[in-house]
């Protein structure tokens, strides 16, 4: 029963928008047939406004719907360039919640579709299959279009896809192109974050260490309580040997971490360490450490402790990530092993459309 309600709800929402897009495509088709050589002449006001309407409707649909069928982005065919005609792509993120600027897997409601937040994974699937997914399935081959994602953060490169309206061989009159511009959030690789260590941003001067730290309870180890000059951030987590076959664990820090004078301790709970080391690398591959430590056991609890000078706390930004092994090469070659890619980022979504 629960599923039935869910499906009805999802279908209703999607089909209203889809219907208006189909209707608009039909109108455009009629208009296009009536006028010959559209590209040579300037479009009439009516033609431009119906093109505008379809661009706006399509943008709304893409940004507010997760797409059809559900989890279309995982379709096996997409990996081999085989695109079903039944897939209507959508970019919205489902089953995710936003809190403190982060996405969490545990959603308050299963039904939740986040408005104005788009999935980087879906975006890449669309980019790689634009002709089939957008030109054919969404626009019924009646409109030429392009989409560009411009991150507001300059550390992240824009993502461009679709028709190249800026190309000099482009034969569409500039006056016949409409543009829709929306500011949305994009999750990028934030799904891979296991822990976010920049708690200070959230707590500021009131920061209180409330995490369990084995150094506080073990009389043989130096206590990790905060003094007036520096703050401790300590977290423990379990790692299974099996998961090392599937995931590559990295500690990734913002480049500003080098100047903060942050020290860290990384240890197994059974083999504790007392001495802290300076943290001056942006990317640290943790798998070699885990592999060695887990040689004779199936799992262990590990803990990471950071000691951050209080006056540099705002520049301390570090995440522990677990990246599926089949994706690590792609991430490394795209400079994706960069702190900014593991944060939810504001981006400008720009859709351009013109008649074929
Ligand atoms: Zn600690």
The two structure tokens encoding residue 193: 């974050």
Listed residues: CB within 5 A of ion ligand 1: 213, 215, 224, 234, 305
Least confident of 175-179, 193-197, 344-348: 193-197
Using the mean position of ligand 1's atoms as its centre, give its distance from the Cα of residue 313 in Å: 16
**Tell me, what's the pLDDT at 21?**
75
Plot region of 165 (φ>0 → left; ψ -120 to 50 → alpha; else → beta)? alpha
- In this predicted structure, what is the pLDDT of residue 34? 53
CA of 204 to the centre of ligand 1 (A): 19
Q: What is the mean pLDDT of the chain?
A: 85
pLDDT of residue 211: 67
- Give 264 Cα–ligand 1 centroid separation in angstroms: 9
262-275 pLDDT, tens per residue?
A: 999 999 998 999 99
Q: How far is CA 234 from CA 57, 59, 126, 231, 243, in A?
A: 48, 43, 40, 10, 22
Phi/psi of residue 317, each to 5°? Answer: -135, 110
Q: Tokens for 185, please give them.
A: 């959030």
Please give the DSSP secondary-structure letter assigned to residue 295: T
Q: Rounded to the nearest whole angstrom, what is the distance from the C-alpha of residue 344 to the centroid of ligand 1?
A: 28
Q: Could you tell me the distance, in angstroms and rounded to a whole number, from the CA of residue 299 to the centre of ligand 1?
A: 21
What's the gap in Å between 303 CA and the centre of ligand 1? 8
- Using 50, 70 and 90 to split pLDDT, how confident is the model at 31? low
Residue 247 Cα to ligand 1 midpoint, Å, equals 25
**Ligand 1 centroid from CA 218, angstroms:** 11
The pTM of the full predicted model, rounded to 2 decimals, is: 0.80
Mean pLDDT of all residues in 330-342: 90
């Amino acid at each position: 029963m629960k599923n039935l309600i869910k499906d009805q709800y999802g279908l209703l929402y999607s089909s209203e928008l889809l219907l208006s897009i189909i209707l608009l495509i039909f109108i455009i088709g009629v208009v296009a047939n009536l006028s010959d050589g559209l590209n040579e002449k300037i479009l009439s006001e009516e033609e431009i406004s119906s093109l505008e309407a379809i661009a706006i409707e399509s943008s709304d649909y893409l940004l507010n719907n997760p797409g059809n069928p559900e989890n279309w982005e995982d379709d096996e065919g997409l990996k081999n360039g085989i695109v079903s005609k039944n897939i209507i792509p959508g970019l919205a993120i489902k089953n995710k919640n936003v809190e403190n600027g982060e996405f969490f897997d545990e959603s308050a409601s299963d039904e939740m579709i986040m408005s104005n937040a788009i999935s980087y994974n879906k975006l890449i699937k669309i980019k790689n299959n634009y002709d089939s997914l957008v030109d054919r399935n969404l626009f019924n081959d009646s409109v030429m279009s392009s989409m560009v994602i411009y991150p507001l953060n300059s550390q992240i490169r824009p993502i461009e896809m679709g028709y190249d309206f800026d190309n000099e061989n482009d034969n569409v009159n500039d006056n016949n192109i409409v543009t829709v511009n929306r500011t949305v959030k994009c999750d990028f690789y934030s799904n891979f974050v296991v822990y976010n260590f920049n708690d200070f941003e959230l707590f500021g001067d009131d920061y209180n260490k409330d995490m369990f730290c084995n150094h506080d309870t073990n009389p043989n180890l130096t206590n990790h309580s905060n003094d007036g000059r520096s703050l401790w951030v300590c977290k423990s987590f379990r790692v299974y040997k099996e998961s090392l076959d599937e995931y590559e664990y990295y500690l990734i820090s913002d480049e500003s971490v080098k100047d903060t004078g942050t020290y860290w301790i990384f240890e197994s709970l059974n083999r504790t360490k007392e001495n802290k080391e300076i943290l001056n690398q942006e990317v640290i591959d943790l798998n070699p450490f885990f592999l060695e430590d887990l040689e004779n056991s199936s799992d262990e609890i590990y803990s990471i402790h950071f000691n951050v000078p209080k006056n540099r706390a705002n520049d301390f930004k570090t995440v522990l990530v677990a990246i599926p092994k089949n994706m690590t090469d792609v991430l490394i070659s795209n400079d994706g092993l960069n702190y900014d890619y593991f944060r939810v980022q504001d981006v400008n979504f720009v859709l351009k459309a013109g008649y074929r």
